[in-house]
Amino acid sequence: MNRAELIGQISELTGQTKTEVGTTITAIIHSITGAMSKGDKATLVGFGTFERRNRQARTGRNPRTLAPLRIPSSKVPAFRAGQELKDVIDGRVKQKSFAHTGTTAKAAPAKKAMAKKAAPKKSAKAKSKKR
C-alpha cells in the first residue's frame, strides 16, 4: 500500500475528504519525524514505537576490493512493533473493525452506487428466453 492508497482507504473509512486525510497524515509524519530528530520517542499504544538509535562506528569491507574501510557512527530511525500489532499480524487476534460513528453526505451516496454496481446483470441468454 502506498501513500495515495492509504489516503483513499482512510477517506472511505472516515468519510473525510482525501485532502483532509492527506493533511492529517502529513502532520502525523512531521510530528513523529520531529520528535525522533530531537532524540524523543513517539509511541502509538498498541501499534508501536518510533525512536532514534545510535549506530556505533565500525570497520567494513569494500565488496569489490575487500579492502577494509571505516564506517562512521550514525543515528538511524527504528520502529518497534507493539504487542497488539504483533498479535494481529501473527493471527492470534483478529483486527478490530473500524466503527465510524459520524456519517457525511458524501459517504452515503457512495454506498448506494456500490450497491447498484454489485447487482447481478442478466445474461444475453436470459434476455432471449423472455422473448
User: Which domains, and CATH codes, for the chain?
Assistant: 3-55+73-99 (4.10.520.10)
Exposure on the CB side of residue 49, measured as CA atoms within 13 A:
9
* CA pair distance 21, 7, nearest whole angstrom: 6
% of the chain beyond a pLDDT of 70: 76
Say yes or no to pLDDT of 84 above 50: yes
Residue 120: which pLDDT band, with cuts at 50, 70 and 90? low
Counting beta carbons within 10 angstroms of the beta carbon of residue 7, is it exposed (0 to 12), middle (13 to 18) or buried (19 or more)?
A: buried
Per-residue pLDDT tens over the stretch 4-14: 999 999 999 99
Per-residue pLDDT tens over the stretch 45-69: 999 999 999 999 999 999 999 999 9
* CA pair distance 25, 17, nearest whole angstrom: 12
- Report pLDDT for 69: 95
Per-residue pLDDT tens over the stretch 100-112: 766 554 444 444 4
